[in-house]
Every structure is written in structure tokens, then in C-alpha cells.
Amino acid sequence: MPLRRWWESAGELAGAAHARILPVTGESWRQAVLDAAASGGRLLALWTGHGGPGERVVCAALMCDPGLLVLRMSLPDAEEVYPGIQDLFPAANRMQRAAADLTGIRSTDPDVRPWLRHSAWPADAFPLRGGELPPSVSPPPLDDYAFVRVLGEGVHEVAVGPVHAGIIEPGHFRFSVVGEKVLKLEGRLGYVHKGIERRFSEMALLDGHRLAARVCGDSAVAFSWAYCQALEGMARHSIAPRAAYLRALALELERSANHLGDLGAIGNDAGFAFGLAQFSRLKEHLLRSTERALGQRYLLDFIVPGGTRLDLAAEHAQQLDECLESLLREAAILRETYEEHAGLRDRFAGAGIITPDLATRLGMVGLAGRASGQASDLRVDHPFPPYDALDVVRCTRTEGDVLARVTVRFDELTESVRLARRMLATLPAGAHLSAAPIPLPGTFGVGLMEGWRGPVLVALEAGSGGQIRRCHPHDPSWQNWPVLEHAIIGNIVPDFPLINKSLNLSYSGQDL
């Protein structure tokens, strides 16, 4: 049936704005996903788990025109296989494989290679089934991961990682190359399994926001706000207007700091060290101002259930506004420098092209998606307070190359600074924090934020005694890492660092 019929038959879902939940059977699961794909919907997340005694659950979060639709399928007793959906949404491949590593619940899709396990625990043990895991073997045996091989005259492989230079999480990239031109790239992540989803199940509901903020440190505000949005929705608790403004201010500061860092790093990867030095200086200036105003450089503990940990004093608001004004002025000068630098334009233009058609087919999201004609931005499409009163400007391009991704960053930096200054000027009076009640056992909610990389989702289920029964955090890099493998095709190997940095995807967000 048309997607609208599925939406109308779904029930209210706590947390995210414009969200509903729909219980489905094995037969209707595929049809609902098919109808969502046919109507232009996108897969945001997929996860599995164990519900009541003997119950196996599969969930998929789909972003459609009406809003967020979460499908929840209970498998029959002892059944641990469900219909795969990677033919409809290619990004589902790695999500399904990761879910199988954690819960043992597998899809029918043919790719059954492990994604998170890396032989770190026995193949018949599953961290999210509860109980004690068998002791790990140290060192674990190496698993024979079946990378896809490209054969032919003159084809050779270049292996990069998993250990990289600098402070960076591990990831392996296997290039198939003729000369210097890349024919194929296949990535593998998950080398440092952190046990985050298992750890959530051992925590109290009112403490989980702190772990959520540490799923991916450069997106701490987005993840902790998404967690608190789900929790507060489940408890039917509304935060004060001032708290909403302070949270949104923190989110835009996080977005601005990451854009500043990326603009410098992308310039550096193109041989323009001056750009790295100047944007690093601006980022440091912003981080110091953020610490003075909100208590931390990186706001890992700023958002708490019921509001924010700290209020914003008037004198600190004034200092932060002055910092943002200065930042915007200097960033505009640096933008002119980047645009007029012939060497940068030569490296940026035409490198790592992701066409709008390819981006649509692969389900690309977030900032990188908006540089390839994917206009989705939750702050515009499904605004929640205070974004529903801020008239957010959507920033997009269609060229899909490194230059387009740099341009969108500059545009979004300008817009985030504008939003932050407007919030500082119109910050409501009142309380910044109110006591959030504990949700009832069995309640379920989803938080959804437009983080700086793209949509951040947190699915939360309450257990008994104020504990977390299940929490699944989802980073938008799940959708965009596979796109990188297409963006590099036809480019030369030395351009990989530049193309990779122009996307700046998260290792940590995949390594749950």
C-alpha cells in the first residue's frame, strides 16, 4: 500500500518531532520498506535486539516526507533470520552485519562477513544477548576477511591501515589500482570495539546521556541531545524554552568548531598549510570562548535530562557573541583566499565526485549529501524548538566534488554563526533545568538531531528499576562510508587523503 497508508496506521512515537512507530510482521516488513524506498524515503538506522522472553526484535528507522517512521518486527519464537533489505537500501549491508555480530539475529542477504567482531570474541557468542561473555583469547586469532578482489593485467593492491599516522582510530582501506588510478576501494572498520551498546544496558536511564555524548566525541552535543530528547519524550517531560535555546546554541557551536577544523585540514591536504594554521587558530579561539561560556571546550556534559548542566551568564553571552562576530569576519577573508587560490581550486574541483543520482541511490546524508544535491536537513524539514522559530537556511550544492563540500562547509559555518548570534540575542528568560522523571518500564522513544555530519539517532527502551533495557546510537557515517568507496574510483591514490578528509566520516561512530 502507499507509504501514506503505513504512516496513518502507525502509532505515536515518543521523542523526535514528527515520529511514529509501526509494528509489522515478516510479510509486511519488506513491503513497508519497499513502499518507503519507492516514495523517496531513506534508511536512517537498523538494529536488532531481544525483547521479552524468547522475543527477537528487528527495527528500522525510515525518514519519509511525513516524518520518521520506525518499523518494529517481532520474529517468531526461536527465529533468528529476517528478510534483508540491502537491495532497497544499500547502506543496510553493514548495519545488518553489525547487528548480527552483536545479537546473532541475521538478515537473509548474502554478505555474512563479520563487521564488528574481528575474532575478538567467539563466533557463537553475542554481546547483546545478556549474561557473561566467554573470556577472550589474547591475542585473538586473525580472521580471514574476504575482501573483494579485482583481477586483470596490471592490477595490484595497495593496503592502507588499519593503523594510521597521527591520532586517529584504526580503519583499513584496500585499493585495487592500475598505475595510480583507483579501480576499486573497499574499507573495513570496527577494529576497536568499545562495547557501547552493551554498556548502555548496564546503566541507569538518567545517566545514559553521558555515554551517549562519548559515542563520537566531535558530535557530543548531537548525541547527548538525541538521547535526552528520547528520554524526555518517553517521560512526557517538556524542557523550558531557555533550555532548548541553550541546547541549540551548543549544537551550532559544535557544528562551527568542526567546520573550522575541517576547512583547515582540507586545505592542508591540498598543500596549503597556511589554511590549516589560520583555521586552527579560529577553532581554538572558538573553543576557548565556548569553555568560558558553557564550561567545557567540547561539550560532553553540557546537555542533561531536563535541560542543561549550566546556565549562560550575560557577560559570557556578550563575550561569545563578540567571538562569533570576529570569527565570521575572518572566515570571510579566508574564504576569499581559498576561492582565489589557483592551486586549491585545481585540487578541489573535480576530485571525488559523487553525483546527485549516486548519492540518492546510496542514501547519502548530512553535509556531504547536501553537497551532492541531497537537500535534507532536519532543522529545516522537521524543525523542533527552537529551530521552528529560527528560519534556518538550507545550504546545498549539486557538483558533488571536494570543492562543493568545501563550499557547503563555508556556507554552513556562516549560517551556524548567524543562528548562534540570533539565539544569544533572543535567549528566553527562565530556568535552564527542570527535574526529568524516569520513564515507565517498557516505554520506547527515539531522539533525532541534525548533527554537523548529518542525522544522529538514538533509540532508547526503558527497563525496570530506572535502568536502560536497550539503547542504539546511530551515526550518519554508517550511510556515508560506503559512498567514499565510489567517490575515489577513477581518481589517483594520492588524492585519497583529500577526498577522505572532505567527507570526514567517523570511525568511532561505527565502532560500537
Report the DSSP beta bridge partners of residue 455: 450
Q: Name which residue leads in pLDDT, 123 or 252.
A: 252
Percent of the chain with pLDDT over 70: 97
Question: Could you tell me which residue, 409 or 191, shows the higher pLDDT?
Answer: 409
Q: Tens digit of pLDDT for each residue in 39-69?
A: 999 999 999 998 766 689 999 999 998 999 9
Look at residue 1 and tell me whether its pLDDT is greater than 80: no
**CA 19 to CA 12: how far, in whole Å?**
7
CATH (residue range 241-431): 1.10.645.10
CA 96/CA 47 separation, integer angstroms: 7
Query: What are 431's three cell numbers?
Result: 530556568
pLDDT in tens, 371-399: 999 999 999 999 999 999 999 999 999 99
CA dihedral sign of residues 334, 336, 340, 346: positive
pLDDT at 203: 96
pLDDT at 272 over 60: yes
CA 38 to chain centre: 24
State the pLDDT at residue 193: 85
- In CATH terms, the superfamily for domain 3-127 is NADH:ubiquinone oxidoreductase Nqo5 subunit (3.30.460.80)
Query: What digits encode the pLDDT tens for the residues 138-177?
Result: 767 777 889 999 988 899 999 998 988 777 889 999 999 9
- Report the chain's mean pLDDT, rounded to a whole number: 94
- The full set of domain ranges for the chain reads 3-127, 152-194+476-512, 204-237+436-473, 241-431
Structure confidence at residue 385 (pLDDT): 94
Q: Which letter, b or e, does each residue of 338-369 get, where b requires 16 or more Cβ atoms within 10 Å of its Cβ?
A: beebeebeebbeebbbbbbeebeebbbbbbbb
Query: CA-CA distance, 105 to 84, in Å (whole number)?
Result: 11
**Angstrom distance (rounded) from CA 358 to CA 372:** 9
**Alpha carbons 246 and 449: distance in angstroms, whole number:** 15
- Asked if residue 101 has pLDDT above 60, the reply is yes
In single-letter form, the type of residue at position 409 comes to R
Q: What is the pLDDT of residue 2?
A: 76
Asked if 373 contacts 356 with a C-beta cutoff of 8 angstroms, the reply is: yes
In 3D, which of 58, 64, 61 has the Cα closest to residue 24? 58
pLDDT at residue 486 greater than cutoff 80: yes
Q: What is the mean pLDDT of residues 67-74?
A: 95
What is the per-residue pLDDT for 143?
Answer: 76
* Residue 463: predicted pLDDT: 94
What CATH number was assigned to the domain covering residues 152-194+476-512?
3.30.390
Reported confidence tier of residue 420, pLDDT bands at 50, 70, 90: very high
How open is the CA angle 422-365-67, to the nearest 5 degrees? 75
Q: Which of 54, 75, 194, 182 is nearest to 130 (CA)?
A: 54
Task: List the 14-15 sheet strands across, edge first.
Answer: 14-15, 444-450, 455-462, 468-474
> Percent of the chain beyond pLDDT 90?
83
- Per-residue pLDDT of 453-484, as tens digits, reads 999 999 999 999 999 999 999 999 999 999 99
CA 441/CA 463 separation, integer angstroms: 5
Dist. CA 26–CA 252, nearest whole Å: 41
Residue among 16, 93, 105 nearest 54 (CA) = 105
Q: pLDDT grade, residue 184 (50/70/90)?
A: very high
